[in-house]
A and B are shown apart, each in its own frame.
Chain A
Amino acid sequence: MRRRRSAELARLRVDPVLCDGIGICAHLAPELVRVDSWGYPIVPLEAIDERDQKQAQRAVRGCPRKALFLEPVPAALPSR
């Protein structure tokens, strides 16, 4: 994935059908991803801060199931 321009807001999303709860994302992006009682990732609803972009992209690239992705946040939605 190409580097996003900072003006472009995005948030992390999980495709729960693809996700097997392996948990690599929580290790690669510990400030963004936490796991639930069964080991499945919970990601923030808000857009990712610029300083967390690298972490988020690392987690997306590291997912063995390709279940994690960045989704552009519509400008109409508040970013936090």
Chain B
Amino acid sequence: MTGRLHLVPQQALAPPRDASSVGLLGGWVVYPAAGSGQRTVGPAPEDLDDHLARLGQRPTARGHHGDALVETLAAVELTGRGGGHFPAAAKWRRMLAAGGGGTVVANAAEGEPASAKDAALLQHRPHLVLDGLLSAAEAMGADDVVVWLHEGAHASRSALNRALSERRAAFPTEPQIRVIGAPDRYISGESSAIVRALSGGPALPTLRRRPAAQVGVGGRPTLVHNVETLARVGLVARTGHEYRPTTLLTVLAGGHRTVLEVGPEVTLGQAVAAAGWRQPDQPTAVLLGGYGGAWMGWTAAAGLPVDEPTVRAAGSSLGAGIVIPLPAAACGLAEAAAITRYLADSSARQCGPCLFGLPAIADVLDQIVDGSAGRSELKVLERYATEVSGRGACHHPDGAVRLVRSALEVFRVELAEHLRGRPCAAAATPVGLPGVG
């Protein structure tokens, strides 16, 4: 790509017309802002008949079929789509090496309020998610199969319940799937919190001395996968090496969240335009990976392909695929401060550095935003960030630090003005990101 990056691509992206194609979602889903009174728009929810007509029966993953599936997952380099992008096959092999059995969990507790791709999958392609879950359970020899879903996720729950009753009627010999309600908190989707909750404890993170694949629920090997990862397992089990790696993005633009599935031939700029960026000006920056992710300047980000390895090589990550462009009129530091406060409030309040450090960081950021902090306060902020980093049982504080550090770097020109007591005009009025207010 050469020259100036144009926001509107020459060939505008559009949702695929042929919903029967072998894709993950088969269309885009638009979630309107809460309280807007508008309806969710997307492809028709796929019932079991449609699912089977499109993709055929789920191939068995028992015995050597399971071993073959692990090899295929390794060959197509499937990585975890909860945000970590850890190789799925490595988890499976670790669990098999620990003797298998135990529990397999579909993690549908999408805690990040800006994200919607897991909800989109459960609501529009529930059988593909369940196929992947059952294939994983078969390959691991698991006897406990769980979907972990927020209590308040009503639309996803009813889609899931409908799909499960269809399956019980059509495939009475399939393993029982337990649907377990997670507390409606950001942190409930953290995998050590899931293992702790399913073992009878509170749904709060723990320090893991050994991986869940070795010692998980009830001390037995446990595989926890994000629902998108499992939907991809459901596809890979059928397509084998023909599997086409795509990315599910949730783009926050035009006041709504658009879930779209794109390949690496699409740039972030094209995806943002396609998701309905309606501002007259281009964004100034974009938050990649959601609230625990990292800001990137728009000129650097717009031309990047939607492809995790390429984005990693550029020093960032798509995480769970959340893309939040920043309007030109907004103050990035004010947005970062509001998100940091949200993350501080979302702490499980178990670990001192997170419980005390995140509010302390948010306090200094607030002072920077309103122009009352100078260079010495910035030094304190940097010390807090270093002290908090890597010191929680889970990675929640690390995500907050990543967000803050990237904001200080990407918005350094604005930061210098704030530190001189001249905050941006928009500093007092953050845009009101989902859940953040």
CB of B207 within 8 A of CB of A16, answer yes
Identity of the chain B residue whose Cβ is nearest the Cβ of A69 in the assembled complex: B209
A-B contact pairs, 20 of them (CB 8 A): A15-B207, A16-B351, A16-B354, A16-B391, A16-B393, A17-B206, A21-B352, A36-B387, A37-B357, A37-B360, A37-B384, A37-B387, A38-B353, A38-B356, A38-B357, A39-B352, A40-B352, A40-B353, A40-B391, A42-B391
Q: Report B's interface with A, CB cutoff 8 A.
A: 205-207, 209, 350-354, 356-357, 360, 383-384, 387, 391-393
Q: Is A46 an interface residue (CB 8 A)?
A: no
CA distance A71 to B210 in the complex (A): 11
CB distance from A11 to the nearest CB of B (A): 13
A interface SS class: loop
- Whether B350 lies near A71 (C-beta < 8 A) is no
Residue-wise interface mask of A (26-65) relative to B, using a CB-CB cutoff of 8 A (1 in contact, 0 not): 0000000000111110100000000000000000000000
Nearest to B355 among chain A residues (CB) is A38
Name the A residues within 8 Å of B360 (CB-CB).
37-38
Minimum CB–CB distance from B128 to chain A (whole Å) comes to 36
CA gap between A55 and B357 in the complex, in Å: 28
- Is the Cβ of B356 less than 8 Å from the Cβ of A16? no
Q: Is A20 an interface residue (CB 8 A)?
A: yes
The residue of chain A having its C-beta at the shortest distance from the C-beta of B360 within the complex is A37
Across the A-B interface, the 7 shortest Cβ-Cβ residue pairs: A16-B351, A40-B352, A38-B356, A36-B387, A15-B207, A17-B350, A21-B352
Given contacts A16-B350, A16-B352, A37-B383, 12 further A-B contacts (CB under 8 A): A15-B207, A16-B207, A17-B351, A19-B351, A21-B352, A36-B357, A37-B356, A37-B384, A38-B352, A38-B360, A40-B352, A42-B391
What distance in Å separates the Cβ of A74 from its nearest Cβ neighbour in chain B?
A: 13
